[in-house]
């Protein structure tokens, strides 16, 4: 028989069962879509880091900065150049545009810019092409001389502002978004910071006879580049997290696909037998089946890629905000559609389909030509496969256990999570069988006994869908527990950490002194606490050291995880140091051990008296007595203060300070707005996670629905005898509905410990590896109830449709079961 | 010094930002028009010390020194020290009141190199004309950029008769004392040097009579050196015509004390424009206009992935000159913002001696 005819015959199956085809297409598109979406987000974010590292002057090359973080004086730059240093000035700041947007302004000097800086290119064209674009000979002059050529990121194209109006604008895809690049002469006026330099980028080709830095500019320190590669490493955890979700969603989607394909193959065994008997060779039949699968995979894959694009576009702004907030990584919120996604999406859809169909296909090929037609055979998984599942599950659990004990690093952490989840999912059918047997043994009435026995018999056919549901539910419980725990911890921590009512930063030292005097005399002010810090080395790593006053604010509120008995007095006496959790964990430091601060040559050593939580900060941080800080670093800028005042007086005091000292914006912030800002960052992180969570759960719900639906048609042979024994169709339909709900309910009960296990892994293993902090676990039983309610409701809905269909079945259909000598 | 270092305009194209555009207008954009900038005038007198200083109304200018030295180890060394100045805008726009101290109408660039028979060390440094990071002062003379400088040894002295020279790069540095034992030499018509048949020209004078002593520091160690040096001063606004593609330039010190400066400008139509100055041992200069001096390629070498002529035949029939000029080190490629070849040469044939060769436009 010709291939086309065979294909037509095979395809007729789907025309009779459009729902099955629909389930297959939706399952596959969802799986592909979630996967593609996550990949798109990751790709976009990574290419942004690359762009940032290559065009943004700040971190691409080593540079010099003042250790106190203040701007570098022009004179210092001049002296360095004359002393043989090859540096290029960069001035960076933010300016509020007239439309309210806060724009990042980077002023550079293209004349001294090291060639490496100019050579660095991004996908697209090199930055220098933007600076010196046509007419080429005048490009650099246009950049250097009034009215100036400025380079803006594409998202600023619509920016309205008088100050930029006269300049010539070049839009560049090379700039991270929300960035304006200009000559330093233009930037310093725009920023209102004449004569200031943020950092001096070091030309990699330095003159060999230059004077030592410590002789010429001791206040400067060399900062080794924190390049895009570092940014990528820093954010790896986040992307791994997303990838893990993408994988999970894809796996759940494949469960649906496998179930449906399996069913379709089994239902077509008779058809295949007929085709074979009428002379179709096995080769033609196999080829036809594979072509059919390919067609379905390509269609579903295509739909999936489109879906993935929308998912990515929807989530990317939140992802971008999260990355910016957590890591300071600049990621464009815009999404480009890449050709590669089509290919990758289609490839994974096709690969997934064939993976899912592999078992069915091989079975079909091996089928003897006149084998008995046993439509239920597919569902009756042999006991052999049970053993296999148990062995694989035990293996996965062993891997998880071993890694938990000996593993380190983020990949290990995620492997634990993956192995644990999969290993548990594989145990589900057996766990269900055990529980159902338990119920069965308790059943006394015949209908009840039949109900349990039949449920157990139906299990193998549903097990894949139930495993998908289990994974999705467990992920949901796990992630929401983690998010909830984090939110609770974080809010509590913010309350402790931001105990002061007002935070103020003076514009200069002179103003700082005036401000202190003024505050000291103010009747409403309870205390003024310095927030002075230096960027230096802590235990050899780059970090920040703060000086703190001996004050009740710290003693009562500072969020210490671990402390010695005399922690605060030791710190106040300059004998001890407090370090943040991530630093302590990374270096496996405990109380009483000593840690050095400062550059290696001049470092001082202090004993650790406490470890505090410091969420959201990827870098080492330490606290010492403020007197010790000013002793060690006499030049430390003394401009930032926290002010304690009765909460109801805070806003009045803020406006008084604002008027008196002409401070505002970022220089004068109240507690509430800092908290709001901090919480916002994390909320957006969780938006992404939760969105993926909901999507995964929907996929699982859909899996249950399609499994029940496709099975219902095949339930007649099981139900007909019971009907013949006297149960009404209504009663039977009711039992069917109850069975669906029961199975889902049971899965949920089993998902709960699994979810809690997952939450623990996320909080105590993944978080520690990814961020350096460990979070206490809080359980939110109400959330589970809600989840349980939704899950049961969805399952009931899914079971109701087939049950209803059964209740309407013509009795003649049921009688036919006996006529067919089943 | 000749046309050679007209490269300076390239300052405007810092970092080699526009090779395609530039090639349509001669090497380094030197063929671009001079609108608004001052142009050299025939007959205008060059005066000292005034003209040792900068001429910001002209688009480009340089202080270009090359030295042929011999070390106490007996080896030959070549040293280059160059300061380029480039004006961003014509003089009438330079006066516009600036709102930023960074604003400048002048850019500066330094090139330094040391060439040995088996190595070539190059450095480049750039600066805006602000905060006195780079510049030229007349009395006492000092030309500098960052830590590199050519400065009068005796601060009370007028002029450039005795200067100290220093520069350093990532893998070399040098510190040399120069003393002139001959007069200034004017090229062309009393310093008005024509560069093309259409009449493009520059102001061009030299001090080719420096005696040098000092020290070079290389990765192989420090070495004391002595020899001769040649300073070229040149400024202009549009020295090349639009169809000129590059040039070959030599400064030759013959053993009898006489000297020859010669250059060949290569045009896109395959023809050349040549010019030369013969300098007697006492400093008497004779200019030779187009086609009197002949520069002929003898062989090329591969350096930095390019084929560059590193052996030449130089002829000046009027003076009985027919010599072969051969690079001391064929790899004297200047891998700078705009690349060119510049290195010491040895002379053989009718006369013998040592000198410098420069070639541009071999992309």
Q: What would the pLDDT profile of A254-306 be if each residue is shown by its tens digit?
A: 777 777 787 787 778 778 888 888 888 888 888 888 899 899 999 999 999 88
- How far is residue B109's CA from residue A427's CA, in Å, rounded to a whole number? 74
Terminal CA-CA length for chain A: 31
pLDDT by residue (tens digit) across B14-28? 333 332 233 334 444
pLDDT by residue (tens digit) across A105-163? 888 888 888 765 544 333 334 444 555 444 444 667 778 888 888 888 777 877 777 77
- Where do the DSSP E strands lie in A549-612? 560-563, 576-580, 594-597, 604-612
Does the ipTM exceed 0.90? no
Q: Per-residue DSSP letters for A518-548?
A: HHHH-TTEEEEEE-EEEEEEETTEEEEEEEE
Give the Cβ contact number of residue A773 at 10 Å.
Answer: 22
Using a CB-CB cut-off of 8 Å, the residues of chain A touching B89 are 141, 145
For residue A189, the distance in angstroms to the closest alpha carbon of chain B comes to: 7
Yes or no, beta carbons of A189 and B100 under 8 Å apart: yes
For residue A111, the distance in angstroms to the closest alpha carbon of chain B comes to: 6
Sign, CA dihedral A317-A320-A324-A330, equals negative
Residue B12 has pLDDT above 60, yes or no: no
Sign, CA dihedral A117-A119-A122-A125, equals positive
**What does the pLDDT read at residue A554?**
84
**What does the pLDDT read at residue A417?**
84
Nearest-CB residue to B168 (from A81, A140, A207): A207
Using a CB-CB cut-off of 8 Å, the residues of chain B touching A83 are 147
Q: What are phi and psi of B334, to 5 degrees?
A: -90, 100
Q: 3-state secondary structure string, A213-246?
A: HHHHCCCEEEECCCCHHHHHHHHHHHHHHHHHHH
- Residue in chain A lying closest to B100 (CA): A185
Residue A691 has pLDDT above 80, yes or no: no
Residue A498 has pLDDT above 80, yes or no: no
- How far is residue B168's CA from residue A206's CA, in Å, rounded to a whole number? 9
Of the candidate ranges B16-30, B57-71, B96-110, B327-341, the one whose mean pLDDT is the lowest: B16-30
**What does the pLDDT read at residue B192?**
93
Residue A1 has pLDDT above 70, yes or no: no
Count CB pairs under 8 A between chains A and B: 119
Structure token pair of residue A422: 């999969």
Using a CB-CB cut-off of 8 Å, the residues of chain B touching A207 are 123, 125, 146-147, 168-170, 173
**Contact status of B59 with chain A (Cβ, < 8 Å):** no
Using a CB-CB cut-off of 8 Å, the residues of chain A touching B335 are none
Yes or no, beta carbons of B126 and A112 under 8 Å apart: yes
Q: Which range, A311-315, A685-689, B2-6, is most confident?
A: A311-315
Which is nearest to A623 in space by CA: A584, A669, A667? A584
Quick one: average pLDDT of B328-353? 91
Residue A56 has pLDDT above 80, yes or no: no
Which is nearest to A690 in space by CA: A468, A471, A487, A475? A475
Residue A12 has pLDDT above 70, yes or no: yes
Residue A669 has pLDDT above 80, yes or no: no
Quick one: average pLDDT of A629-650? 85
- How far is residue A22's CA from residue B23's CA, in Å, rounded to a whole number? 63
Q: pLDDT tier at B182 (50, 70, 90 boundaries)? A: very high
Q: Per-residue DSSP letters for B245-304?
A: EEEEEEEEEETTS-EEEEEEEEETTS-EEEEEEEE-TT--EEEE-TTSEEEEEEEEEEET
A592 neighbors A608 (Cβ within 8 angstroms)? yes
Residue B353 has pLDDT above 60, yes or no: yes
Which is nearest to B88 in space by CA: A184, A140, A148, A186? A140
Residue A690 has pLDDT above 50, yes or no: yes
Q: What are phi and psi of B258, to 5 degrees?
A: -80, 165
Residue A3 has pLDDT above 50, yes or no: yes
**What does the pLDDT read at residue B5?**
33
Q: Which range, A26-40, A160-174, A184-198, A799-813, is most confident?
A: A184-198
CA-based max dimension of chain B: 61
Residue A66 has pLDDT above 50, yes or no: yes
Of the candidate ranges A323-327, A616-620, A699-703, the one whose mean pLDDT is the lowest: A323-327
Yes or no, beta carbons of B102 and A86 under 8 Å apart: no
Strand partners, A668: A504
The runs of H, that is alpha helices, within A713-780 are 716-724, 729-761, 767-770
Q: What are phi and psi of B26, to 5 degrees?
A: 80, 165
Of the candidate ranges A447-451, A810-814, B103-107, the one whose mean pLDDT is the lowest: A810-814
Interface test with B, best of A128, A130, A137 (most B CBs within 10 A): A137
- How far is residue A515's CA from residue A503's CA, in Å, rounded to a whole number? 12
**Contact status of B236 with chain A (Cβ, < 8 Å):** no
Using a CB-CB cut-off of 8 Å, the residues of chain A touching B169 are 205, 207-208
Strand partners, B236: B60
What radius of gyration do chain A's Cα atoms show?
33
Strands across the sheet containing A220-223:
A168-172, A149-153, A179-183, A102-108, A87-96, A199-202, A63-66, A220-223
The model's pTM: 0.54
DSSP character for A330? -
Q: What are phi and psi of A535, to 5 degrees?
A: -90, 115
Mean pLDDT of chain A: 79
A579 neighbors A611 (Cβ within 8 angstroms)? yes
Residues in chain A: 822
Q: pLDDT tier at A329 (50, 70, 90 boundaries)? A: low
Those of residues 70-109 in B touching chain A at CB distance below 8 A are 88-89, 96, 98-105, 107
**What does the pLDDT read at residue B44?**
87
Residue A335 has pLDDT above 70, yes or no: no
Yes or no, beta carbons of B12 and A113 under 8 Å apart: no
Structure token pair of residue A119: 């050579």
Which is nearest to A74 in space by CA: A193, A192, A181? A193
**What does the pLDDT read at residue A39?**
80
Structure token pair of residue A274: 């007929």
Terminal CA-CA length for chain B: 22
- How far is residue A270's CA from residue A266's CA, in Å, rounded to a whole number? 8
Q: Does A678 or B235 have the greater pLDDT score?
A: B235
Q: 3-state secondary structure string, B190-255?
A: CCEEECCCCCCEEEEEEEEEEEEEEEEEECCEEEEEEEEEEEEEEEECCCCCCCEEEEEEEEEEEC
Of the candidate ranges A45-49, A171-175, B172-176, the one whose mean pLDDT is the lowest: A45-49
Yes or no, beta carbons of A82 and B107 under 8 Å apart: no
- Residue in chain B lying closest to A107 (CA): B102
- How far is residue B175's CA from residue A208's CA, in Å, rounded to a whole number? 13
Strand partners, B321: B316
Residues 6+ away with beta carbon under 8 Å from A159 = A97, A99, A101, A103, A152
Structure token pair of residue B301: 């070498």
Residues 6+ away with beta carbon under 8 Å from A297 = A28, A346, A349, A350, A352, A353, A354
Yes or no, beta carbons of A109 and B128 under 8 Å apart: yes
A612 neighbors A561 (Cβ within 8 angstroms)? yes
Strand partners, B252: B260, B355
For residue B233, the distance in angstroms to the closest alpha carbon of chain A comes to: 23
Q: Which range, A366-380, A640-654, B321-335, is most confident?
A: B321-335
Residue A35 has pLDDT above 70, yes or no: yes
Q: Does A789 or B276 have the greater pLDDT score?
A: B276
- How far is residue A268's CA from residue A357's CA, in Å, rounded to a whole number? 14
**What does the pLDDT read at residue A77?**
93
pLDDT by residue (tens digit) across A466-477? 887 888 888 888
Q: Which range, A597-611, A743-757, A759-773, B71-85, is most confident?
A: B71-85
**What does the pLDDT read at residue B22?**
31
pLDDT by residue (tens digit) across A342-367? 788 888 888 888 887 887 788 777 76
**What does the pLDDT read at residue A54?**
44
Using a CB-CB cut-off of 8 Å, the residues of chain A touching B98 are 185
């Amino acid at each position: 028989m010709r291939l086309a005819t065979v294909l037509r015959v095979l395809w007729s199956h789907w025309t009779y069962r459009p729902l099955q085809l629909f389930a297959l297409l939706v399952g596959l598109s969802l799986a592909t879509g979630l996967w593609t979406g996550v990949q798109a987000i990751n790709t976009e974010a990574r290419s942004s880091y690359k762009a940032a590292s290559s065009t943004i002057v700040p971190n691409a090359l080593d540079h010099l900065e003042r250790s106190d973080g203040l701007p570098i004086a022009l004179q210092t730059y001049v002296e360095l150049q004359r002393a043989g240093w090859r540096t290029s000035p960069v001035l960076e700041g933010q300016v509020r545009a007239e439309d309210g947007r806060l724009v990042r302004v980077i002023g550079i000097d293209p004349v001294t810019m090291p060639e490496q800086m100019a050579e660095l290119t991004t996908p697209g064209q090199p930055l220098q092409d933007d600076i010196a674009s046509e007419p080429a000979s005048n490009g650099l002059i246009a950049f250097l001389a009034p009215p100036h050529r400025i380079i803006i990121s594409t998202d600023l194209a619509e920016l309205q502002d008088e100050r930029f109006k006269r300049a010539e604008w070049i839009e560049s895809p090379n700039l991270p978004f929300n960035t304006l690049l200009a000559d330093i002469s233009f930037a310093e006026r725009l920023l209102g910071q004449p004569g200031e330099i943020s950092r001096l980028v070091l030309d990699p080709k330095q003159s060999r006879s230059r004077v030592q830095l410590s002789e010429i500019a001791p206040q400067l320190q060399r900062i080794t580049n924190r390049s895009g590669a570092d940014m990528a490493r820093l954010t790896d955890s986040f992307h791994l997290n997303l990838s893990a979700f993408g994988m999970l969603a894809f796996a759940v989607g494949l469960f649906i696909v496998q179930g449906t394909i399996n069913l379709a193959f089994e239902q077509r065994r008779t058809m295949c037998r007929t085709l074979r008997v009428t002379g179709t060779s096995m080769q033609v039949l196999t080829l036809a089946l594979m072509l059919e699968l390919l067609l379905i995979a390509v269609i579903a894959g295509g739909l999936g890629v489109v879906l993935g694009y929308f998912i990515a576009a929807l989530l990317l702004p939140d992802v971008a905000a999260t990355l910016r907030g957590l890591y300071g990584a600049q990621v464009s919120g815009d999404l480009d559609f890449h050709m590669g996604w089509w290919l990758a999406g289609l490839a994974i859809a096709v690969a997934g389909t064939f993976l899912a169909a592999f078992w069915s296909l091989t079975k079909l090929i091996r089928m003897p030509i006149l084998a008995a037609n046993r439509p239920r055979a597919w569902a009756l998984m042999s006991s052999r496969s049970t053993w296999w599942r148990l062995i694989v599950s035990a293996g996965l659990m062993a891997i998880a256990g071993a890694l938990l004990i000996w593993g380190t690093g983020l990949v290990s952490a995620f492997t634990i999570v993956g192995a644990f989840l999969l290993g548990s999912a594989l145990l589900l059918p057996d766990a269900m069988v055990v529980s159902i047997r338990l119920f069965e043994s308790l059943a006394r009435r015949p209908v009840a006994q039949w109900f349990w026995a039949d449920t157990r018999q139906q299990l193998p056919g549903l097990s894949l869908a139930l495993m998908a549901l289990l994974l999705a539910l467990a992920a949901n419980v796990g992630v929401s527990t983690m998010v909830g725990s984090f939110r609770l911890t974080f809010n509590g921590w913010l309350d402790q950490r931001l105990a002061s009512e007002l935070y103020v930063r003076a514009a200069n030292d002179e103003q700082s002194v005036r401000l202190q005097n003024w505050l000291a005399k103010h009747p409403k002010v309870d205390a003024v606490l310095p927030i002075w810090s230096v960027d230096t080395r802590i235990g050899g790593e780059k970090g920040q050291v703060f000086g703190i006053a001996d004050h009740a604010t710290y003693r009562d509120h500072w969020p210490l995880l671990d402390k010695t008995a005399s922690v605060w007095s030791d710190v106040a006496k300059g004998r001890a140091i407090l370090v943040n959790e991530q630093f302590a964990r990374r270096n496996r430091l405990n109380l009483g051990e000593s840690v050095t601060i400062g550059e290696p040559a001049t470092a001082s050593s202090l004993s650790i008296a406490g470890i505090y939580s410091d969420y959201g900060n990827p870098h080492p941080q330490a606290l010492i007595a403020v007197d010790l800080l000013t002793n060690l670093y006499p030049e430390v800028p003394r401009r930032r203060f926290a002010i304690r005042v009765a909460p109801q007086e805070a806003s009045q005091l803020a406006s008084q300070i604002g008027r008196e000292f002409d401070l505002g914006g970022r220089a004068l912030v109240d507690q509430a707005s800092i908290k709001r800002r901090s919480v916002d960052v994390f909320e957006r992180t969780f938006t992404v996670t939760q969105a993926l969570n909901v999507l995964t759960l929907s996929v699982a719900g859909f899996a249950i629905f399609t499994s029940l639906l496709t099975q219902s048609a095949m339930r007649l042979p099981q139900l007909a005898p019971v009907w013949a024994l006297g149960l009404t169709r209504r009663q039977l339909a009711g039992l069917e509905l109850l069975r669906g709900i029961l199975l889902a309910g049971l899965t949920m009960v089993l998902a709960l410990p699994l979810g809690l296990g997952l939450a623990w892994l996320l909080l105590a293993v993944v978080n520690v590896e990814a961020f350096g902090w460990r979070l206490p676990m809080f359980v939110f039983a109400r959330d589970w109830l809600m989840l349980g309610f939704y899950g049961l409701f969805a399952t009931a809905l899914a079971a109701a449709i087939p049950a209803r269909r059964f209740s309407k079945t013509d009795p003649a259909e049921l009688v036919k079961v006996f006529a067919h000598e089943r | 010094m000749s046309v050679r270092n007209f490269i300076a305009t390239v300052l405007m194209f810092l970092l080699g930002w526009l090779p395609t555009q530039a090639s349509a207008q001669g090497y380094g954009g030197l063929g671009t028009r001079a609108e608004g900038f001052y142009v050299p005038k025939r007959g205008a007198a060059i005066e000292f010390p005034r003209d040792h200083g900068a001429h910001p109304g002209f688009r480009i200018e340089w202080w270009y020194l090359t030295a042929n030295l011999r070390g106490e180890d007996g080896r030959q060394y070549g040293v280059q020290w160059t300061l380029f100045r480039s004006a961003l805008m014509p003089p009438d726009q330079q006066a516009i009141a600036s709102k930023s101290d960074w604003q400048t109408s002048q850019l500066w660039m330094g090139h330094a190199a040391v060439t040995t028979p088996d190595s070539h060390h190059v450095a480049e440094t750039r600066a805006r004309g602000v905060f006195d990071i780079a510049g030229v002062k007349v009395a006492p003379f000092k030309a500098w950029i960052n830590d590199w400088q050519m400065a009068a040894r005796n601060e009370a002295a007028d002029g450039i008769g005795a200067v100290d020279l220093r520069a350093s790069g990532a893998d070399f540095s040098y510190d040399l004392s120069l003393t002139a034992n001959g007069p200034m030499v004017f090229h062309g018509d009393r310093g008005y040097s024509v560069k093309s048949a259409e009449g493009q020209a520059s102001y061009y004078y030299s001090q080719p009579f420096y005696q040098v002593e000092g020290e070079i520091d290389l990765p192989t160690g420090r070495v004391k050196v002595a020899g001769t040096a040649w300073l070229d001063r040149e400024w202009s606004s549009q020295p090349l015509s639009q169809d000129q593609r590059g040039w070959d330039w030599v400064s030759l010190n013959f053993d009898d004390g006489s000297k020859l400066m010669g250059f060949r400008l290569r045009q896109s139509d395959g023809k050349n424009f040549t010019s030369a100055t013969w300098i007697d041992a006492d400093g008497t200069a004779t200019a030779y206009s187009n086609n009197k001096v002949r520069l002929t390629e003898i062989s090329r070498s591969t350096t930095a992935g390019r084929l560059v002529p590193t052996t030449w035949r130089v002829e000046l029939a009027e003076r009985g000159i027919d010599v072969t000029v051969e690079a001391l080190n064929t790899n004297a490629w200047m891998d700078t913002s705009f690349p060119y070849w510049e290195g010491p040469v040895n002379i053989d044939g009718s006369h013998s001696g040592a000198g410098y060769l420069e070639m541009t436009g071999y992309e």
